[in-house]
């Protein structure tokens, strides 16, 4: 199994045994009996797309789990504090009851006031009695409030624990689904002849070259473009990661998935981004390709399952897919959905020298995870 796809599957087999995650995905129907090169490529892309959906969903579930774990800990701590306050309130109510019992007499307190020989003393006693009554009322009110708060927090704590268990179970299921998809990729590639693998690689290269040529020929990327100061910093970070392996759900520093790379690159520039490519697409301001500048995020596929950083000159830096390494690829290597800008208020630099690329920065597979035969150029024209 020589060639790029052989290297991909070998590395993927190792990756599957140590990492993974995901969610079941609904993909376009694929004819598994189609053994033509085009049919095989479509099937491989579909499997990769389903795996990438799983990976992005895993990242989202992992982030939600971390937030839920923190919420569970906070609620548990509040419940413990509320129970302690309730215990103190009960102790205080008990002391008050004992004091009242010990100070009781056969005469009514009001009768005692009437029979008091000293009027001033009677008034003082009346004030003391009123203060004692207010104190008792306050203790009772505090005790009732503490009981209600403890009950509410106990309910919230149970719900938080249930939610955490649900997230744990869902994450496990997503991981198993993704592992199954990659094992299917492994089986499919292992069944192909050397000639079929070579033709698949050639078809991938030809499709990428054609889409990139059409995109550049459209003039959408013409003109000098510079990043903002933050965008330049994000790019420098991303370029320093070139050559590091793709890994499901990884956020660095040694391995990344596609959105983990974009998130950490912009974190290095002082900007917090959502964790998944779908969230980045949904929440960040969108920009047309005609205004695309280095540092912007380029999002791919109809369901936004892949993301890259625009380097300039029609190139992107990204973590392509399992078995691949972070690299530089043509912008049109995958079907374009659109672009977003993490710092819309950032002013472009007057001058910009792109970061120097390491040797072999463009080596390896360019494609992310496609579930269809749609071309990047076609997606661009549709926009």
**Phi, psi angle pair for 345, to nearest 5°:** -85, -5
Catalytic residue among 15, 41, 200, 258: 258
Catalytic residue among 43, 181, 275, 306: 306
- Tell how many helices (H) and how many strands (E) occur in the chain: 9, 6
Compute how many other C-beta atoms are within 10 angstroms of the C-beta atom of residue 287.
Answer: 17
Q: Is 281 exposed, middle or buried (0-12, 13-18, 19+ CB in 10 A)?
A: buried
Quote the tokens at residue 383.
């926009």
List Cα–Cα distances, 58 to 20, 212, 255, 267, 310, in angstroms: 8, 31, 16, 21, 25
Quote the tokens at residue 281.
């697409």
Q: Is 318 a catalytic residue?
A: yes
**SS3 state at 304:** coil
- Cβ atoms of residues 285 and 340 within 8 Å: yes
Q: Is 174 a catalytic residue?
A: no
Catalytic residue among 174, 244, 318, 341: 318
Catalytic positions: 258, 306, 318
């Amino acid at each position: 199994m020589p060639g790029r796809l052989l290297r991909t599957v070998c590395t993927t087999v190792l990756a599957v045994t140590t990492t993974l995650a995901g969610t079941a995905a609904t993909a376009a129907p694929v004819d598994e009996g189609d053994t033509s090169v085009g049919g095989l490529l479509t099937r491989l892309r579909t499997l990769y797309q389903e795996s990438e959906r799983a990976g992005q969903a895993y990242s989202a579930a992992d982030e939600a789990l971390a937030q839920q774990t923190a919420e569970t800990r906070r609620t548990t701590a509040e419940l413990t504090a509320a129970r302690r306050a309730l215990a103190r309130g009960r102790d205080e109510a008990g002391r008050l009851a004992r004091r009242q019992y010990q100070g009781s007499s056969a005469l009514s307190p009001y009768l005692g006031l009437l029979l008091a020989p000293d009027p001033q003393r009677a008034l003082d006693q009346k004030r003391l009695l009123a203060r004692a009554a207010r104190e008792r009322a306050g203790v009772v009110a505090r005790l009732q409030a503490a009981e209600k708060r403890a009950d509410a927090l106990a309910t919230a704590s149970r719900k938080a624990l249930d939610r955490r268990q649900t997230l744990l179970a869902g994450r496990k299921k997503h991981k198993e689904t993704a592992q199954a998809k990659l094992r299917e990729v492994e089986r499919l590639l292992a069944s192909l002849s050397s000639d079929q693998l070579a033709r698949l690689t050639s078809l991938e290269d030809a499709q990428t070259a054609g889409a990139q040529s059409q995109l550049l020929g459209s003039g959408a990327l013409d003109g000098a473009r510079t990043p903002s100061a933050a965008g330049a910093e994000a790019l420098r970070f991303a370029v320093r990661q070139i050559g590091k392996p793709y890994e499901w759900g990884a956020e660095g520093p040694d391995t990344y998935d596609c959105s983990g790379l974009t998130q950490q690159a912009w974190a290095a520039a002082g900007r917090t981004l959502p964790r998944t490519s779908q969230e980045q697409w949904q929440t960040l301001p969108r920009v047309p390709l005609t205004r695309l500048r280095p540092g912007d995020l380029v999002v791919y596929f109809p369901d936004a399952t892949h993301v890259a950083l625009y380097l300039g000159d029609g190139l992107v830096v990204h973590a392509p897919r399992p078995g691949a390494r972070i690299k530089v690829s043509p912008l049109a290597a995958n079907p374009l959905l659109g672009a977003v800008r993490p710092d819309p208020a950032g002013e472009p630099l007057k001058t910009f020298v792109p970061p120097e690329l390491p040797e072999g920065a463009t080596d390896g597979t360019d494609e992310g995870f496609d579930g269809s035969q749609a071309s990047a150029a076609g997606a661009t024209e549709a926009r």
